[in-house]
């Protein structure tokens, strides 16, 4: 690999026409020099020197520029090898070495492109223009001219260009590019839609809320790009030792020449001594893993988090919004005084119609699902600390927290929250409400145990009975309940003091301090939630708990790939240097050998992009 191409941002430089023309010109000069050498040696030498200038010039210039900036990289070794070959009168050999090094760099980058394909595909998800509804007339406008508050029309087969809210219509939307969900999601009035998703059927009129870089897709692309630039600790270590390679290899090359008196051996040592495969070991693996994660609706904010995932041995879960859906539902109706269940639900929902309490929403939704009649309520009032009261069908209906206690039929030893419903001050029934557990939560603990993570803890701010109920269903053995945010933070720190590497999984809002303090913070359901994306190291774009074992497996596989790449690169370089010192490799063969190692490392890392980690 050539030092000036080490920066991922320069990737497009390899694909411009001028670069390929230089390659073509250099190869033609080498071919003419080779065939003309027997008959016209002087002309052949001139053509070979021209090839050296075309192909080796940028390499030497990169080395000189680096030295002027007091930076040393592998360009120096290749430059010295080319200059030494020219000084020895081996012009054609110098040209062939330069050609193979440039060609190897291009092949290596094309191999690495596979690792970036998923990230690049995110950029292509957003359309360049959209149909905007202005005074009842549709006008196609560039995305840059669309602003918040505009109405955008999205038809079947079109990509959603903005983040917004559905004002009219229904459609089946595929959000897989953002959330990793395999099935389309039905969208109708008041539902949010996100840029980059695609409409399968139907038509929507969407009120624009965010455009371009401000959309969820835009933030995802920005954060993934930032993650590529943040270097993992193992990569920083590789860079540190790579700085010493150049003076070491130069010294070794001089020693080989002094011992053997063979200039070609000395030149070959300079060529194969470039630690390119070693330098590529970590960044190619990290880039591939980031692409895999992005493709599956997982946003990893930096390479260090990927590396840390491979060392995790403890996982801590929040309850509400994490193991549960965070949406209370009515699960039980207990009739009193001969009143039917549907009547109790109808009266309660009618009274709660104007309440903003989350439990009121659960009651109202239960009534709608059961097709209970919802009447208009009058004289609605809230009673602080007790509940609400309203007149429904000329009856005074009260809905509030049910009494509990050992001598009461609704004991405190339950995971449900009960509401009492009264009609004209007489109880007519109880409504049992609980937070629905996610269906995949029961699979989590066994999956984590198989990954070697046996420390699984539930930390909840809810009642102990509720937390114990959730823990029993999910198989979590350790729990603590009735915790304030700072107490959750203390629990995380205690685990870290016990030398555990801790993942904290929460909703990214009230768990923000714990997400930040844990070795790895994972935020659930981050799509459209700025706090979740900013507070956690990793954000799951959908509410899918199976992504947690997935991302841990991805981290473990990434660390394993990096370690394998580093071991291969070290052994490969040492063997190549040894072979060169003993005269088994010529400068040309040394250049080929050098690039084989680099391409192998890049190809091995690229396998991570397509790897699947199933929850068994």
The residues annotated with a catalytic role in the active site are 318
Integer Rg of the chain from CA: 33
Task: Give the ranges where 451-586 is alpha helix by DSSP (H).
Answer: 464-474, 485-497, 512-517, 530-535, 547-581
DSSP strands (E only) in 94-136: 129-134
CB neighbourhood size of 469 (10 A) = 19
The continuous run of DSSP H or E covering 87 comes out as: helix 75-87
| DSSP state string for 332-350 | EEEE-TT--HHHHHHHHHH
349 in Cβ contact with 452 (< 8 Å): no
Residue 395, token pair as written in the block: 């009856």
Reference 594, options 573, 571, 609; nearest CA is: 573
DSSP strands (E only) in 162-227: 163-174, 185-187, 192-193, 198-210
Distance CA 537, CA 521 (A): 5
528 in Cβ contact with 194 (< 8 Å): yes
* Residue with token string 């145990």: 449
521 in Cβ contact with 535 (< 8 Å): yes
Sign of the dihedral through C-alpha 276, 610, 444, 449? negative
Sign of the dihedral through C-alpha 61, 67, 71, 77? positive
73 secondary structure, DSSP code: -
Distance CA 153, CA 215 (A): 17
Q: How far lies 541's CA from each of 120, 239, 304, in Å?
A: 18, 33, 20
Distance CA 134, CA 296 (A): 37
* Helix, coil or strand: residue 516: helix
Distance CA 513, CA 535 (A): 8
Reference 164, options 138, 137, 133, 122; nearest CA is: 133
443 in Cβ contact with 449 (< 8 Å): no
* Residue with token string 């223009």: 129
* HEC letters along 237-281: HHHHHHHHHHHHHHHHHHHHHHHHCCHHHHHHHHHHCCCHHHHHH
Distance CA 171, CA 491 (A): 45
């Amino acid at each position: 690999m050539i030092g000036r191409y080490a920066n991922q941002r320069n990737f497009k430089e390899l694909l411009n026409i001028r670069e390929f023309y230089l390659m073509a010109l250099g190869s033609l000069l080498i071919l003419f020099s080779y065939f003309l050498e027997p008959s016209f040696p002087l002309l052949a030498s001139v053509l070979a020197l021209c090839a050296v200038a075309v192909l080796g010039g940028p390499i030497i210039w990169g080395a000189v520029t680096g030295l002027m900036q007091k930076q040393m990289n592998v360009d120096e070794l290749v430059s010295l090898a080319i200059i030494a070959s020219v000084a020895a009168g081996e012009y054609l050999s110098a040209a062939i070495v330069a050609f193979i090094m440039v060609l190897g760099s291009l092949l290596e980058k094309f191999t690495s492109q596979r690792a970036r394909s998923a990230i690049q595909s995110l950029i292509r998800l957003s359309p360049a223009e959209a149909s905007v509804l202005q005074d009842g007339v549709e006008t196609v406008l560039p995305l840059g001219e669309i602003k918040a508050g505009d109405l955008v029309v999205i038809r079947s087969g079109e990509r959603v260009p903005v983040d917004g809210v559905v004002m009219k219509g229904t459609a089946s939307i595929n959000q897989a590019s953002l959330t990793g969900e395999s099935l389309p999601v039905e969208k109708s009035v008041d539902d949010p839609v996100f840029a980059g998703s695609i409409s399968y059927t139907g038509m929507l009129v969407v009120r624009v809320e965010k455009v371009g870089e401000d959309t969820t897709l835009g933030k995802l692309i920005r954060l993934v790009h930032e993650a590529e630039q943040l270097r993992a600790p193992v990569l920083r270590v590789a860079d540190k030792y790579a700085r010493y390679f150049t003076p070491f290899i130069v010294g070794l090359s001089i020693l080989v020449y002094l011992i053997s008196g063979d200039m070609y051996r000395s030149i070959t040592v300079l060529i194969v001594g470039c630690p390119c495969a070693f330098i590529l070991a970590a960044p190619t693996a990290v880039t591939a893993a980031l692409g895999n994660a992005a493709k599956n609706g997982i946003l990893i904010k930096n390479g260090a988090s990927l590396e840390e995932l491979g060392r995790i041995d403890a996982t801590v879960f929040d309850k509400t919004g994490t193991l549960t859906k965070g949406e209370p539902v009515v699960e039980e109706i207990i009739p009193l005084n001969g009143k039917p269940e549907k009547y109790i639900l109808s009266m309660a929902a009618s009274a709660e119609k104007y309440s903003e309490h989350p439990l009121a929403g659960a009651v109202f939704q239960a009534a709608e699902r059961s097709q209970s009649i919802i009447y208009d309520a009058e004289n609605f009032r809230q009673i602080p600390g007790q509940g609400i009261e309203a007149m429904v069908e000329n009856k005074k209906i009260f809905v509030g927290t049910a009494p509990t206690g050992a001598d009461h039929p609704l004991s405190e030893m339950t995971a449900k929250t009960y509401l009492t419903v009264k009609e004209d001050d007489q109880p007519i029934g109880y409504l049992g409400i609980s937070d629905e557990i996610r269906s995949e939560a029961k699979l989590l603990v066994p999956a984590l145990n198989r990954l070697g993570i046996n420390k699984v803890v539930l930390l909840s701010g809810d009642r102990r009975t509720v937390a114990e109920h959730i823990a029993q269903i999910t198989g979590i053995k350790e729990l603590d309940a009735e915790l304030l945010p700072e107490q959750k933070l203390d629990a995380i720190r205690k685990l870290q003091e016990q030398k555990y590497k801790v993942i904290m999984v929460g909703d990214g809002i009230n768990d923000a301090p714990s997400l930040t303090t844990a070795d790895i913070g994972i935020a659930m359901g981050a799509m459209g939630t700025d706090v979740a994306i900013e507070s956690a190291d990793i954000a799951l774009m959908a509410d899918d708990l199976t992504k947690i074992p997935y991302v841990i497996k991805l981290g473990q596989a990434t660390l394993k790939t990096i370690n394998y790449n580093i071991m291969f690169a070290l052994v490969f370089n040492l063997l190549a240097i040894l072979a060169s010192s003993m005269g088994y490799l010529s400068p040309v063969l040394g250049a080929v050998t050098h690039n084989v190692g680099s391409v192998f490392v890049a190809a091995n890392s690229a396998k991570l992009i397509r790897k699947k980690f199933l929850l068994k």
